Amino acid sequence: MVYQLDVTDLVAYAKKRNFMLFPLLLFLLEKSLRFVLKKKSFLRPCYSFVDGDNVAWLNTQIMENFEDFFYNYVTDLHKFSLNPQNALPRTSSDNDDIFYVSCLEAYERDNVLPDDFSGCVISLGKLMVSDNNRSLIPLSLFHLSLADDYFSVLQNLCSRYSEEMSFETQDL
Closest CA to 95 of 31, 44, 56: 44
For residues 158 and 151, the answer to whether their CB atoms sit within 8 Å is no
pLDDT in the model for residue 105: 55
User: Tens digit of pLDDT for each residue in 36-52?
Assistant: 888 888 888 888 777 67
- DSSP state for residue 9 in the 8-state scheme: H
pLDDT at position 110 over 70: no
Q: What is the pTM of this model?
A: 0.79
pLDDT at position 84 over 80: no
pLDDT in the model for residue 128: 92
Residue 39 CB contacts under 8 Å (≥ 6 apart), including other chains:
none
Helix segments in 6-162, DSSP class H: 8-17, 21-37, 66-82, 147-160
Burial 16-45 (b: 16+ CB within 10 A, else e): eeebebbbbbbbbbbbbbbbbbeeeeebbb
Least confident of 11-15, 79-83, 102-106: 102-106
Q: Please, what sign has the CA dihedral across residues 74, 79, 80, 86?
A: negative
Q: Which CATH architecture has domain 2-163?
A: 2-Layer Sandwich (3.30)
Structural domain boundaries of the chain?
2-163
